[in-house]
Structure 1
Protein backbone atom coordinates (compact mmCIF):
# COMPACT_ATOMS: atom_id res chain seq x y z
CA UNK A 1 0.00 0.00 0.00
CA UNK A 2 2.83 2.41 0.86
CA UNK A 3 4.50 1.62 -2.46
CA UNK A 4 1.25 2.36 -4.33
CA UNK A 5 0.80 5.69 -2.52
CA UNK A 6 4.42 6.63 -3.20
CA UNK A 7 3.98 5.73 -6.88
CA UNK A 8 0.83 7.90 -7.08
CA UNK A 9 2.73 10.83 -5.56
CA UNK A 10 5.59 10.43 -8.05
CA UNK A 11 3.17 10.26 -10.98
CA UNK A 12 1.29 13.36 -9.81
CA UNK A 13 4.48 15.35 -9.30
CA UNK A 14 5.74 14.32 -12.74
CA UNK A 15 2.40 15.17 -14.36
CA UNK A 16 2.33 18.56 -12.69
CA UNK A 17 5.86 19.32 -13.89
CA UNK A 18 4.83 18.60 -17.49
CA UNK A 19 1.61 20.58 -17.87
CA UNK A 20 1.35 20.47 -21.67
CA UNK A 21 -1.94 19.25 -23.18
CA UNK A 22 -0.24 16.14 -24.61
CA UNK A 23 0.79 14.78 -21.19
CA UNK A 24 -1.61 12.51 -19.31
CA UNK A 25 -1.09 11.04 -15.86
CA UNK A 26 -1.03 7.29 -15.48
CA UNK A 27 -3.86 6.09 -13.29
CA UNK A 28 -2.67 3.31 -10.98
CA UNK A 29 -4.22 -0.13 -11.30
CA UNK A 30 -6.37 -1.08 -8.34
CA UNK A 31 -7.84 -4.25 -6.95
CA UNK A 32 -10.74 -2.13 -5.62
CA UNK A 33 -11.86 -0.74 -9.00
CA UNK A 34 -11.17 -1.37 -12.64
CA UNK A 35 -8.17 0.41 -14.15
CA UNK A 36 -9.06 3.82 -15.49
CA UNK A 37 -8.10 4.60 -19.08
CA UNK A 38 -5.84 7.62 -19.42
CA UNK A 39 -7.98 10.75 -19.40
CA UNK A 40 -7.42 13.77 -21.59
CA UNK A 41 -5.50 16.44 -19.74
CA UNK A 42 -6.91 19.92 -20.05
CA UNK A 43 -4.51 22.83 -20.45
CA UNK A 44 -3.40 24.44 -17.17
CA UNK A 45 -6.25 26.25 -15.50
CA UNK A 46 -6.44 30.00 -15.09
CA UNK A 47 -8.27 29.21 -11.88
CA UNK A 48 -5.86 29.37 -8.96
CA UNK A 49 -4.38 26.01 -8.00
CA UNK A 50 -6.76 23.77 -10.02
CA UNK A 51 -5.95 21.32 -12.78
CA UNK A 52 -8.59 19.25 -14.52
CA UNK A 53 -8.62 15.81 -16.12
CA UNK A 54 -11.49 14.50 -18.14
CA UNK A 55 -12.37 10.86 -18.63
CA UNK A 56 -15.06 10.32 -21.24
CA UNK A 57 -14.26 6.72 -22.17
CA UNK A 58 -14.72 4.97 -18.82
CA UNK A 59 -18.42 5.45 -18.15
CA UNK A 60 -19.06 5.18 -14.43
CA UNK A 61 -21.74 5.81 -11.87
CA UNK A 62 -21.26 8.94 -9.74
CA UNK A 63 -19.88 6.86 -6.83
CA UNK A 64 -17.51 4.93 -9.10
CA UNK A 65 -16.29 8.18 -10.69
CA UNK A 66 -15.66 9.65 -7.23
CA UNK A 67 -13.68 6.54 -6.23
CA UNK A 68 -11.67 6.47 -9.46
CA UNK A 69 -10.64 10.11 -9.08
CA UNK A 70 -9.64 9.43 -5.46
CA UNK A 71 -7.61 6.35 -6.42
CA UNK A 72 -5.63 8.59 -8.77
CA UNK A 73 -5.02 11.17 -6.02
CA UNK A 74 -7.68 13.57 -7.29
CA UNK A 75 -11.36 14.28 -6.66
CA UNK A 76 -14.40 14.83 -8.82
CA UNK A 77 -14.40 18.44 -10.00
CA UNK A 78 -15.93 20.99 -7.67
CA UNK A 79 -17.18 23.67 -10.07
CA UNK A 80 -18.22 26.06 -7.31
CA UNK A 81 -17.21 29.43 -8.74
CA UNK A 82 -18.05 31.35 -11.87
CA UNK A 83 -14.32 31.31 -12.83
CA UNK A 84 -14.00 27.52 -12.57
CA UNK A 85 -17.28 27.04 -14.38
CA UNK A 86 -16.37 29.22 -17.38
CA UNK A 87 -12.82 27.87 -17.56
CA UNK A 88 -13.94 24.24 -17.62
CA UNK A 89 -16.78 25.00 -20.03
CA UNK A 90 -14.39 26.71 -22.47
CA UNK A 91 -11.95 23.79 -22.29
CA UNK A 92 -14.68 21.23 -22.96
CA UNK A 93 -15.99 23.35 -25.84
CA UNK A 94 -12.47 23.59 -27.32
CA UNK A 95 -12.20 19.79 -27.18
CA UNK A 96 -15.63 19.53 -28.89
CA UNK A 97 -16.94 17.06 -26.34
CA UNK A 98 -20.71 16.82 -26.17
CA UNK A 99 -21.17 14.16 -23.52
CA UNK A 100 -22.40 14.66 -19.96
CA UNK A 101 -19.85 14.41 -17.13
CA UNK A 102 -20.07 13.81 -13.42
CA UNK A 103 -18.94 16.62 -11.13
CA UNK A 104 -18.64 16.61 -7.33
CA UNK A 105 -22.05 17.99 -6.39
CA UNK A 106 -24.91 16.13 -4.75
CA UNK A 107 -28.37 16.80 -3.36
CA UNK A 108 -29.29 17.07 0.31
CA UNK A 109 -32.97 17.30 -0.49
CA UNK A 110 -35.20 18.13 -3.40
CA UNK A 111 -33.41 20.87 -5.32
CA UNK A 112 -30.83 21.70 -2.63
CA UNK A 113 -27.34 20.83 -3.85
CA UNK A 114 -23.99 21.09 -2.08
CA UNK A 115 -20.31 20.47 -2.77
CA UNK A 116 -19.06 17.52 -0.64
CA UNK A 117 -15.47 18.81 -0.90
CA UNK A 118 -16.35 22.08 0.85
CA UNK A 119 -19.60 21.00 2.55
CA UNK A 120 -21.16 24.22 1.21
CA UNK A 121 -24.47 24.67 -0.59
CA UNK A 122 -24.23 25.96 -4.14
CA UNK A 123 -23.70 29.72 -4.20
CA UNK A 124 -23.13 29.75 -7.95
CA UNK A 125 -25.07 27.52 -10.35
CA UNK A 126 -25.91 27.69 -14.02
CA UNK A 127 -28.65 25.10 -14.29
CA UNK A 128 -30.03 23.90 -17.59
CA UNK A 129 -33.65 24.77 -18.45
CA UNK A 130 -36.09 23.55 -15.76
CA UNK A 131 -33.25 22.05 -13.70
CA UNK A 132 -32.88 20.71 -11.12
CA UNK A 133 -36.11 18.79 -11.63
CA UNK A 134 -35.48 15.70 -9.46
CA UNK A 135 -37.10 13.64 -12.25
CA UNK A 136 -38.50 10.36 -10.98
CA UNK A 137 -37.64 11.37 -7.42
CA UNK A 138 -34.08 10.04 -7.67
CA UNK A 139 -31.84 12.61 -9.36
CA UNK A 140 -29.38 13.53 -6.62
CA UNK A 141 -26.02 13.86 -8.41
CA UNK A 142 -24.55 16.72 -10.41
CA UNK A 143 -24.12 16.27 -14.13
CA UNK A 144 -22.38 18.83 -16.36
CA UNK A 145 -23.92 18.61 -19.86
CA UNK A 146 -24.75 20.63 -22.95
CA UNK A 147 -28.02 22.51 -23.27
CA UNK A 148 -28.43 24.55 -26.44
CA UNK A 149 -24.69 24.28 -27.13
CA UNK A 150 -23.49 25.32 -23.64
CA UNK A 151 -22.43 23.19 -20.67
CA UNK A 152 -24.73 23.69 -17.71
CA UNK A 153 -25.63 21.94 -14.48
CA UNK A 154 -28.19 19.14 -14.45
CA UNK A 155 -29.39 16.77 -11.75
CA UNK A 156 -29.17 13.12 -12.76
CA UNK A 157 -29.72 9.67 -11.27
CA UNK A 158 -26.44 8.75 -9.54
CA UNK A 159 -26.54 5.24 -11.03
CA UNK A 160 -26.38 6.47 -14.64
CA UNK A 161 -23.07 5.71 -16.33
CA UNK A 162 -21.08 8.47 -18.03
CA UNK A 163 -17.72 10.21 -18.15
CA UNK A 164 -16.35 12.38 -15.36
CA UNK A 165 -14.07 15.32 -14.63
CA UNK A 166 -11.38 15.06 -11.92
CA UNK A 167 -9.44 17.94 -10.39
CA UNK A 168 -6.35 18.31 -8.26
CA UNK A 169 -4.55 21.32 -6.82
Structure 2
Protein backbone atom coordinates (compact mmCIF):
# COMPACT_ATOMS: atom_id res chain seq x y z
CA UNK A 1 0.00 0.00 0.00
CA UNK A 2 2.81 2.43 0.87
CA UNK A 3 4.48 1.60 -2.44
CA UNK A 4 1.30 2.50 -4.37
CA UNK A 5 0.98 5.81 -2.51
CA UNK A 6 4.66 6.58 -3.16
CA UNK A 7 4.24 5.90 -6.89
CA UNK A 8 1.14 8.10 -7.05
CA UNK A 9 2.96 10.93 -5.26
CA UNK A 10 5.80 10.68 -7.76
CA UNK A 11 3.47 10.58 -10.79
CA UNK A 12 0.92 13.20 -9.69
CA UNK A 13 3.01 16.26 -10.72
CA UNK A 14 3.60 14.66 -14.14
CA UNK A 15 -0.10 13.88 -14.58
CA UNK A 16 -1.04 17.41 -13.49
CA UNK A 17 1.47 18.96 -15.88
CA UNK A 18 0.14 16.80 -18.70
CA UNK A 19 -3.44 17.84 -17.91
CA UNK A 20 -2.44 21.50 -18.13
CA UNK A 21 -1.13 21.17 -21.69
CA UNK A 22 -2.79 18.15 -23.30
CA UNK A 23 -6.18 16.43 -23.48
CA UNK A 24 -6.10 12.62 -23.72
CA UNK A 25 -8.37 9.86 -25.00
CA UNK A 26 -8.47 6.11 -24.39
CA UNK A 27 -6.50 5.31 -27.59
CA UNK A 28 -3.47 7.21 -26.28
CA UNK A 29 -3.84 10.37 -28.38
CA UNK A 30 -3.13 13.72 -26.77
CA UNK A 31 -4.30 16.97 -28.35
CA UNK A 32 -2.51 20.12 -27.26
CA UNK A 33 -4.37 22.91 -25.51
CA UNK A 34 -1.75 25.47 -26.50
CA UNK A 35 0.36 26.20 -29.57
CA UNK A 36 4.05 25.52 -30.16
CA UNK A 37 6.42 25.70 -33.09
CA UNK A 38 7.44 22.30 -34.50
CA UNK A 39 10.46 21.86 -32.22
CA UNK A 40 8.46 22.96 -29.17
CA UNK A 41 5.70 20.47 -30.02
CA UNK A 42 8.23 17.67 -30.48
CA UNK A 43 9.90 18.58 -27.16
CA UNK A 44 6.66 18.86 -25.21
CA UNK A 45 5.48 15.45 -26.42
CA UNK A 46 8.85 13.92 -25.43
CA UNK A 47 8.67 15.63 -22.02
CA UNK A 48 5.56 13.57 -21.26
CA UNK A 49 6.96 10.31 -22.66
CA UNK A 50 4.89 10.70 -25.82
CA UNK A 51 5.69 11.13 -29.51
CA UNK A 52 4.48 13.62 -32.05
CA UNK A 53 2.09 11.61 -34.26
CA UNK A 54 3.32 9.74 -37.34
CA UNK A 55 0.77 8.43 -39.84
CA UNK A 56 2.13 5.39 -41.67
CA UNK A 57 -1.10 4.05 -43.17
CA UNK A 58 -4.63 5.10 -44.11
CA UNK A 59 -5.74 3.14 -41.02
CA UNK A 60 -3.49 5.31 -38.80
CA UNK A 61 -5.07 8.38 -40.36
CA UNK A 62 -8.61 7.03 -39.85
CA UNK A 63 -7.83 6.28 -36.19
CA UNK A 64 -6.49 9.81 -35.71
CA UNK A 65 -9.51 11.29 -37.47
CA UNK A 66 -11.77 9.33 -35.11
CA UNK A 67 -9.79 10.65 -32.12
CA UNK A 68 -10.04 14.24 -33.38
CA UNK A 69 -13.80 13.85 -33.76
CA UNK A 70 -13.97 12.34 -30.27
CA UNK A 71 -12.17 15.43 -28.93
CA UNK A 72 -14.46 17.72 -30.94
CA UNK A 73 -11.19 19.11 -32.27
CA UNK A 74 -11.56 22.20 -34.39
CA UNK A 75 -11.32 21.77 -38.14
CA UNK A 76 -10.40 25.47 -38.36
CA UNK A 77 -6.84 25.02 -37.04
CA UNK A 78 -3.82 23.04 -38.14
CA UNK A 79 -1.94 20.47 -36.06
CA UNK A 80 1.73 19.52 -36.18
CA UNK A 81 2.50 15.94 -37.16
CA UNK A 82 5.98 14.38 -36.88
CA UNK A 83 6.91 14.76 -40.56
CA UNK A 84 9.87 16.84 -41.68
CA UNK A 85 11.63 17.33 -45.00
CA UNK A 86 15.36 16.79 -45.46
CA UNK A 87 17.56 18.80 -47.84
CA UNK A 88 17.15 15.97 -50.36
CA UNK A 89 13.44 16.80 -50.52
CA UNK A 90 12.46 13.49 -48.94
CA UNK A 91 10.01 13.48 -46.04
CA UNK A 92 10.74 11.53 -42.83
CA UNK A 93 9.00 10.91 -39.53
CA UNK A 94 11.32 12.46 -36.94
CA UNK A 95 9.94 10.21 -34.21
CA UNK A 96 10.83 6.97 -36.00
CA UNK A 97 13.43 7.97 -38.60
CA UNK A 98 11.33 6.21 -41.24
CA UNK A 99 10.64 7.72 -44.63
CA UNK A 100 7.09 9.00 -45.16
CA UNK A 101 5.61 6.49 -47.60
CA UNK A 102 1.87 6.94 -47.07
CA UNK A 103 0.77 10.53 -47.79
CA UNK A 104 -2.45 12.53 -47.74
CA UNK A 105 -1.35 15.85 -49.20
CA UNK A 106 -3.93 18.51 -49.90
CA UNK A 107 -4.39 19.92 -53.38
CA UNK A 108 -1.20 21.61 -54.57
CA UNK A 109 0.85 20.31 -51.62
CA UNK A 110 3.64 20.08 -50.74
CA UNK A 111 4.58 23.36 -52.39
CA UNK A 112 7.45 24.68 -50.23
CA UNK A 113 5.97 28.18 -50.44
CA UNK A 114 8.66 30.74 -49.70
CA UNK A 115 11.32 28.01 -49.71
CA UNK A 116 11.08 27.28 -45.96
CA UNK A 117 8.21 24.81 -45.56
CA UNK A 118 9.94 21.79 -44.05
CA UNK A 119 7.43 20.54 -41.47
CA UNK A 120 4.16 18.64 -41.79
CA UNK A 121 0.82 20.13 -40.76
CA UNK A 122 -2.48 18.27 -40.63
CA UNK A 123 -4.78 20.85 -42.20
CA UNK A 124 -4.46 22.53 -45.57
CA UNK A 125 -5.81 26.04 -45.16
CA UNK A 126 -4.68 27.66 -48.35
CA UNK A 127 -7.33 28.45 -50.94
CA UNK A 128 -8.50 24.82 -50.84
CA UNK A 129 -9.78 24.61 -47.21
CA UNK A 130 -9.03 20.92 -46.61
CA UNK A 131 -8.87 20.50 -42.80
CA UNK A 132 -7.93 16.80 -42.76
CA UNK A 133 -5.36 16.94 -45.58
CA UNK A 134 -1.61 17.50 -45.20
CA UNK A 135 0.28 20.71 -45.83
CA UNK A 136 3.96 21.61 -45.69
CA UNK A 137 4.55 24.62 -43.45
CA UNK A 138 7.34 26.73 -41.98
CA UNK A 139 8.51 24.97 -38.79
CA UNK A 140 8.60 28.23 -36.79
CA UNK A 141 4.84 28.79 -37.02
CA UNK A 142 2.99 27.98 -33.81
CA UNK A 143 0.21 25.39 -34.13
CA UNK A 144 -1.66 22.97 -31.93
CA UNK A 145 -0.19 19.49 -32.12
CA UNK A 146 -1.00 15.83 -31.57
CA UNK A 147 1.01 13.40 -29.44
CA UNK A 148 0.54 9.66 -29.01
CA UNK A 149 1.81 7.01 -26.66
CA UNK A 150 4.71 5.18 -28.38
Q: What TM-score does the superposition give when structure 2 sets the normalisation length?
A: 0.79
Identify the residue that residue 167 of structure 1 maps to in structure 2: 148
Residue from 122, 133, 136 that aligns with 2:114: 136
Identify the residue that residue 154 of structure 1 maps to in structure 2: 135
Higher relative contact order (CA 8 A, sep 6+): 2
Aligned residues: CA RMSD: 2.5
What is the CA–CA distance in structure 2 between the aligned matches of 1:150 and 1:65, rounded to whole Å?
19
What is the CA–CA distance in structure 2 between the aligned matches of 1:129 and 1:109, rounded to whole Å?
23
SS in 2 for 1:143: strand
Structure with more strand by fraction: 1
Alignment pair present for 1:27 and 2:26:
no
Identify the residue that residue 37 of structure 1 maps to in structure 2: 20
Identify the residue that residue 76 of structure 1 maps to in structure 2: 52
Structure showing greater radius of gyration is: 2
What is the CA–CA distance in structure 1 between the aligned matches of 2:100 and 2:111, rounded to whole Å?
16
What is the CA–CA distance in structure 2 between the aligned matches of 1:110 and 1:156, rounded to whole Å?
17
What is the CA–CA distance in structure 1 between the aligned matches of 2:39 and 2:17, rounded to whole Å?
17
Gaps in structure 2 of 5+ consecutive residues? 1-6
The CA deviation at 1:110 is 6.3
Structure with more helix by fraction: 2
Structure 1 segments (4+ residues) deviating >6 Å: none
Structure 1 residues 111 and 142, CA gap change in structure 2 (3 angstroms)? same
Q: What TM-score does the superposition give when structure 1 sets the normalisation length?
A: 0.71
Paired positions, count: 137
The CA deviation at 1:109 is 3.1
